[in-house]
Structure 1
Amino acid sequence: MNAAQYLLSFFQQKNMSNAFENGFTRLDVTSALQEIESEIDTWERMGDDVSIMRTCVKHWTNIIVTAFAERNGWDGHEKANMYASIRVNAGDMLAMKTIADKMTGCTVHFTDEQKEKLRSLLTDSRKVLGEIADTMPEGLALYVSRLLTETETALSEYDITGDFALEKAFARLRMALDITMVQTPKEKSSKWDGVKNALSEIAIGFIIEAPSVALTAATIFPQIAPGQ
């Protein structure tokens, strides 16, 4: 599921009550819209006419803001209006479907095998991090731990948020792990060997399963490139 497919699913919710029950959050919805805008920027740089898409994005932004409009609850805390409708028309749905189809060819897709390898990688990374945390620069271990949690959440909620959320979380984690491995004392660096192997296996999987997204995968795994 790419970002546009996720938003398409959000737009199909009857109201915000249904959306919340099905796991949609303001953060995920706005992140998906930002991902779509980023793709539109890329298409424009490639010479595509994206003027209609940009008009749609402005409209979708208003829809999302309205849907998540806040009101004061009885306890004084801000709460989203559970019964707010998600007002979209046939044109919105068609435009989002068009973008979703266009994004399918350039979205990294995690296979079941890769997700299993990722689960093992997260477990191993936590174990190693716990063993070397006292040798890390101040704050680095905590930062990596938070990114591990973020990736674990994206993985556990994969059926809801799909590839776009997992790709973003994993890309941040991948870069943080690279920094952590460099900062690890030489005498303890071998502890990361299992994690390094898992990263390589996941990266190779993208090229084997979908060569067309190898360039996108290379943003997560800088050591790979199409054809390698």
Structure 2
Amino acid sequence: MSHPDSNNPYGGPPPGQQPAQPYDYPQGQRQPQPYGYPQPGQQPYGFPPQHQPQVQPQGQGHPGYPGHPGYAGGAYIPTELPGLAKAARVLLFVIGGLQLIGGIAAAVGLTALNSADTGLGSGPAGDAAAGIGMVAVVVLLALAVLVIVLAAKFGSGGNGVRVTTIVYASLGIVGSLFNLVQGTPAGAIGAVIGIAVGAVILAAMLQSQTAAWFKRPRH
């Protein structure tokens, strides 16, 4: 009995050999994928594994989002003094310095007038005028010291510094408005400058970022 030619592609397999399966792939090569849709969590057939998005560790987020170092308990904590508050701080230093210079100059002038033979300080009227002048000098110097201390405390002070600055700026605006209405045209220029400076300081203190800065936790 003759056997089919093993070289004949249309013949059967040699004796003792299993018939070849259709689409038989050598070992190690990619096998055909079954039909149908992949199961949940399974990669699509014929595609390489997809990279999963990496979850960013807490504490390394973008500024303005929870997880950033500027956040604590869901509230934003600024890491430096806001820009408008810095401008207000500079204005306070300037105002305090000018008031300090003006108070010292006024004290020296009153002392010179009292010691000179000008009639000031002689008699009840003179004593009253000298007393009022010295009280005004003391108040001016006290305000100068207060303003300088407030400006110096912007970096480490709490919300009390902010509230005191708001009160000071508000009183300065009211006083400047009074001078603008009752004063002379020459004094109106100073009153307008005072209103503008007080408005800048007040706006800086009412800013939400400035409030967060003064209310930030301190260790």
* TM class, shorter-length: 0.3 to 0.5
| Higher Rg | 2
User: What's the TM-score once normalised by structure 2's chain length?
Assistant: 0.33
Q: Choose between structure 1 and 2: higher helix proportion.
A: 1
> Relative contact order: is structure 1 or structure 2 higher (C-alpha 8 Å, sep ≥ 6)?
1
TM-score (structure 1 length as normaliser)? 0.32
